[in-house]
Structure 1
Amino acid sequence: MHKHLKRCHRIFGIVESFLNSARISDRRRLMEEHNHRVAIHAIKKIVKVHCNYFGEMSIISTCFFHIPSDKDIKRIIINLVKKAMFAKSSAKDPQTGLKTKLVIKINNSRARLPKLNELIYIDPSPDYCVKNKKYRITGVAGRRCHLYAKAGEISCEEMCCDYGYHITKSTQSVKCNCQFNLKSYREKCQDCTKQYYISRCRKILIKHNSTMSHP
């Protein structure tokens, strides 16, 4: 049991060393160091060690790491990102001139250090709804979306931001009414036309909420 726990700690040490290998000076360095600590803390919380004991005295054990499902990990990450706090630099080191810590401003006179379960950011996030070549953001204009989203899908209302969306009707030639001919050992089908609808985000930004329109 103790050997497995020591191995677990060594693995976390390797992960921590990897995450902390890329350092950028000053504000961004402080932000990344804190967010790395938050990530490592979250990993340690979700990874569990399970042991099965057997034998007459239950002395022998088989231990293994249990990692939650992708769905649970995704939920944890989304919750951390949603609660991310804006942080600003605080005191400087008089010798190096580097910022020594980042703080979260509560009001004009109060501030606090970020917690171990809080991701922080120092610059506003780019608008992922709008195309931005600098950040390689494709935007949502013209993208296909799901009018009636199923589980795991993103609806047009969610995807299209303030662009709204429109629906176009298309047709497709498909084989139908197929029958197998026992004499010729061939399948004969008719050509049918299938109609279906495609929903896409608009290419022109609108000011009000997402709306549906037909061509």
Structure 2
Amino acid sequence: MHKVSDISIEADVLAENRKLGQDNLRHLRSHGVRSLDVMGSIGSGKTLLITKMAVEMKKKGLRPAVLAGDVTGEDDFSRFQAAGIPAVNVNTGKECHLDAHLVDHALDKLDLDSIDFLFIENVGNLVCPADFPLGTDMRMVVISVTEGDDMIRKQPLIFVDSDIAVLNKIDLLPYVDINVDLLDRDYSKVKNGAKLHRTSAKTLEGLDQLFRAIDIDL
């Protein structure tokens, strides 16, 4: 009985999160805000990639903002602010992921009528965030060349549940022992033939293709 109760509670939690996520999406769309949930492990380069994308958007007259999710601290939040990007810091305390309830409260701290696009940087993790959609138009998972070529085989669910997958830090390819073709094959297999995007947040390589993938015309 104990196991049945635990499963029931977990199902209720996930269902309630999905409902709140749908509310968040309707809220954002009612203000004309498009949104992207950016997931990935610690060190994959999510923060810099979001920063560079947001800066490029600003150059073209778009108005981006970021919800900076982390267990604790303000490091990423401070980096976004230093780049001139409106941001809200969202700490989870002990949880390994953001959830729709936290995002709902964070949205209250933004003037949604003053932004066009919202990045939500999820907590660095390739497991938990997959089960908790936040209410965004798209979900993107970022891995880096420094993490090895078995990441997709080890954690397939987050790739299945994401609309876009990115292999970041390709400027480091000459210095790491990694089989990129294997990553491409693994992603194509779990995502029905989809392509793994390649980027370098440092050099901006691949950003044009990534913008097209999220339907942003710069």
The TM-score normalised by the length of structure 1 is: 0.25
Q: Which has the higher strand share?
A: 1
Tell me: higher relative CO, structure 1 or 2? Use CA pairs within 8 A at least 6 residues apart. 2
Q: Please state which structure has a larger fraction of its residues in helix.
A: 2
